[in-house]
């Protein structure tokens, strides 16, 4: 059974992540919010640090993978491994700044896909690159099964054609993990992921998007025009198994959704701590020994928001713990993402309200966190999609039966 305390061996890592967030992220947070699309060069120092943590097997605030290991599955007892460490580290780093975390070299969502799906040879080749992940298309949003980007086998390469939008780190990353279909007529089962390295002919970064939040992170539109990718760059198996569906590429989400939930938890905690400080300066005391309805209205609201935060935090830890212990966590990953995504938007906006004029100005980071929060309820599957997935899992319905 999961132990809800931070694992002893992860405490040093959590402390390091917190120090980095407090000493590096927070001081430059507003700078790169204003300087949209400027690369935060201060983050280069973290690449070597995180590489060291990951190579030591401890994991960090980076992109771990959900891999099915038969030997590990036979071991008895609980374990807290890379997924738990990544979740805890991500919470701390996003307490500092979520946009800056998304800008860190070699920690892209594509790295999580590689870590989850790649074979050993591919892990050796792509393990050290910075990989973005390209799923969303102009005519394909939350329904990943509706992907129109095609991959056609031609000799020793796949030829990719299509356009991808809202690609986080799409310009800065060394490579992009692209979702494409081998055969549109065979539906979900034909969707595969391909590692496309920068500089590959036919691969173009069309433009960068101007955004509401996470402005430190670049978000790109990509185009693939007869882009030839070595067939060895297809992650997983090239076989189309209509019975299995696209479980191979969807396995990535078992890892990335808890990560996004952890990002949301970190932002929510930052907003709550800042609001608690502002309330205290205003003479409002939050008393945990009194019923909420016997306290100042602002204190009662704060208690409500804090309880929402706690539930999101616990769901996030549960999904990470299940991944470390080789338990199917698709349901829990979607529950964590849905709860944390909705909660962080509500918490940050209501914290802005509680802080009054101070919450709406740039004197505080509260207004920035409220802007950053919205994307955490959207990417890696919207709130509505997560609820649909949860309903399917609980009711035992297929995607065709429950739309």
Which residues, at least 6 apart from 102, have a Cβ–Cβ distance to it below 8 Å? 168, 169, 214, 216, 217
The two three-digit tokens of residue 189, written as one number = 């089962």
**CA nearest 54: which of 81, 25, 19, 79?**
81
Residues 6+ apart with CB under 8 A from 308: 343, 346, 347
Q: What angle do CA 110, 65, 390 make, to 5 degrees?
A: 90
How far is Cα 160 from Cα 178, in angstroms, rounded to an integer?
Answer: 9
Residue 234: beta bridge partners?
Answer: 194
- Secondary structure in 3-state letters for 50-99: HHHHHHCCCCCCCCCCCCCCHHHHHCCCCCCCHHHHHHHHHHHHHHHCHH
Q: How far apart are CA 11 and CA 4, in angstroms?
A: 13
Question: Which member of 23, 273, 380, 401 is catalytic?
Answer: 380
For the question of residue 380 being annotated catalytic, the response is yes
Find, among 55, 57, 86, 50, the residue nearest to 259 by Cα. 86
Short-list 87, 67, 168, 142, CA closest to 389:
142
Instruction: With both helix axes pointing from N to C terminus, report the angle between 366-376 and 330-354 in degrees, rounded to the nearest 10.
Output: 160
Our CA angle for 84, 90, 91, nearest 5°, is: 95
Q: Which residues pair with 20 in a beta bridge?
A: none
Where in the sequence numbering do the catalytic residues fall?
Answer: 380
């Amino acid at each position: 059974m999961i132990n809800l305390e931070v694992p002893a061996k992860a405490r040093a890592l959590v402390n390091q992540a917190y120090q980095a967030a407090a000493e590096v992220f927070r001081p430059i947070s507003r700078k790169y919010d204003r300087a949209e699309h400027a690369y935060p060069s201060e983050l280069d120092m973290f690449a070597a640090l995180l590489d060291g943590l990951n190579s030591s097997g401890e994991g960090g605030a980076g992109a771990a993978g959900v891999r099915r290991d038969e030997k590990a599955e036979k071991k008895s007892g609980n374990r807290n491994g890379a997924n738990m460490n990544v979740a805890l580290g991500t919470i701390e780093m996003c307490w500092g700044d979520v946009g800056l975390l998304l800008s860190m070299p070699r920690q892209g969502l594509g790295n999580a896909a590689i870590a989850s799906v790649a074979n050993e040879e591919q892990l050796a080749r792509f393990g050290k690159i910075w990989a973005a992940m390209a799923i969303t298309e102009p005519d394909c949003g939350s329904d990943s099964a509706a992907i129109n980007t095609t991959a056609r086998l031609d000799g020793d390469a796949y030829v990719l054609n299509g356009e991808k939008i809202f690609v986080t780190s799409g310009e800065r990353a060394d490579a992009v993990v692209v979702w494409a279909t081998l055969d549109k007529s065979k539906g979900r089962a034909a969707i595969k992921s391909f590692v496309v390295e920068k500089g590959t002919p036919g691969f173009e970064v069309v433009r960068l998007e101007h955004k509401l939040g996470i402005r430190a992170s670049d978000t790109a539109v990509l185009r693939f025009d007869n882009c030839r990718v070595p067939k060895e760059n297809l992650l997983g198996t090239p076989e189309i198994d209509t019975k299995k569906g696209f479980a191979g590429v969807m396995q990535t989400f078992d890892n990335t959704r808890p990560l996004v939930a952890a990002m949301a938890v970190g932002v929510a905690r930052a907003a709550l701590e800042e609001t608690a400080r502002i309330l205290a300066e205003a003479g409002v005391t939050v008393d945990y020994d009194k019923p909420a309805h016997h306290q100042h209205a602002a204190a009662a609201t704060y208690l409500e928001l804090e309880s929402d935060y706690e539930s999101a935090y616990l769901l996030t830890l549960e999904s990470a713990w299940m991944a470390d212990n080789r338990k199917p966590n698709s349901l829990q990953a979607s529950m964590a993402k849905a709860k944390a995504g909705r909660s962080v938007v509500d918490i940050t906006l209501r914290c802005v309200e509680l802080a009054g004029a101070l919450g709406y100005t740039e004197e505080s980071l509260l207004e920035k966190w409220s802007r950053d929060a919205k994307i955490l309820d959207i990417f890696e599957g919207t709130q509505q999609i997560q609820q649909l997935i949860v309903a399917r899992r609980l009711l035992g319905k297929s995607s065709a039966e429950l739309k």
